Each structure stands twice: as C-alpha cells, then as structure tokens.
Amino acid sequence: MEAAAEIDELGWHTRAERTMSPNFDDRPVGIAVDLIVIHAISLPPEQFGGDGVEQLFLNRLDPCEHPYYREIEQLRVSAHFFIRRDGRLMQFVSCHHRAWHAGISRWKGRDRCNDFSIGIELEGHDLCAFDDAQYLILDPLLLCLRAAFPIVDVVGHSDIAPGRKTDPGPCFEWNRLTKR
C-alpha cells in the first residue's frame, strides 16, 4: 500500500512535482503558517496548458512570446503550489519559506499575508469553471496542509486584497472543499 501524501520535514509535498522558484525568502521568525490563499492564474490570459505560469515563477518568461508577457516580464512572483487543469500538482516553494503570491494584502487585521500563508494557484481565471481534476487534488492538498500547519482559514486572493484582486472568482466552488 502506498504511503499517504504529506509535507516532509523540508516543507515539500511528497507527491508534487518539484520545480524550485528563485522567488521566495525566509518567513519572519516566530510567525505560524495559519492561512491558505487560493488563486487563479493562466498565461497567456484565459489560455490553458502552456508553460507560461511555470516560466513566470522561474523568471524565464519570454516577452516576445505573447504581448501580455511584455507587461509582466519584470514581475518576481511565485506560489507554493500550482494545480493544472488536469490535476497535475506542482510545487515551486517549500512551505517553510515565504512565496511571493499575495502582494499587498491583509487578513483579520494582519498585513503582509505572505508572511503567514501558503499560496495555491489554480490554472484558470475568474469567469471560468475549474475542472473536477483540480478539486480532486486541491481538497486532499488542503487536508495535508492542515495536518502539517495550524491552518485557521482558507480564503481567496480577493479576500485578502479586495478591490485589487478578484481571483479565484465567482466560478470557484468553495462548497466542494472538505471542512475538516
């Protein structure tokens, strides 16, 4: 019988495909990771299946490949996890480090959500339903993260950056997540 997925001692999911982004740093000392932020991303916008998101997280986005890439090529961003439309799970930053996914953000009176959160990007956009395969990976991932960290809340990017961000959007089915 195969062992259950978990977050190992170095902060890596034991079943995720690992691709290390340079866009991370140390979390502040003494701050517990107690928030998970759900995002939606597609590059080029509203197109799925390409390597744009990975290239963005690795600082390898080619500005000649798509006009939108010229607008964002200077960004230095990442997320801990990325779930593709087909359910493929990728991890770019150890959960013990601070990924650069939330930007200017605030949750329950605390600023700088990157300090105390784990970011999960879903391949998608605000006005498109997410695929079943993504929920089938997301729910166990959340349970795994809850087992490893004292998670209190799971929120959307729009919840921590209202007016600035709208993802994961109205098509994200929050009721499909297990409440445990």
Instruction: Give dist(CA 38, CA 101) in Å, integer.
Output: 10
With contact defined as beta carbons under 8 Å apart, do 56 and 39 qualify? no
Q: Residue 76 has which token pair? A: 């230095």
- pLDDT tens per residue across span 30-81: 999 999 999 999 999 999 999 999 999 999 999 999 999 999 999 999 999 9
pTM: 0.97
Which domains can be identified in the chain, with CATH numbers?
A: 17-176 (3.40.80.10)
Amino acid present at 118: I
CA 117 to chain centre: 10
Answer whether residue 164 shows pLDDT above 60.
yes
Q: Average pLDDT over the chain, rounded to whole? A: 96
Q: pLDDT per residue over 83-92, tens digit each?
A: 999 999 999 9
pLDDT value at 24 more than 80 = yes
Name the residues annotated as catalytic.
121
At 1 the pLDDT is 55
pLDDT at 178 over 90: no
pLDDT tens for 100-117 read 999 999 999 999 999 999
Q: Is the pLDDT of residue 139 over 90?
A: yes
Q: What integer pLDDT is reported at residue 4 of this predicted model?
A: 81
Report the first-to-last Cα separation within the chain, whole angstroms: 24
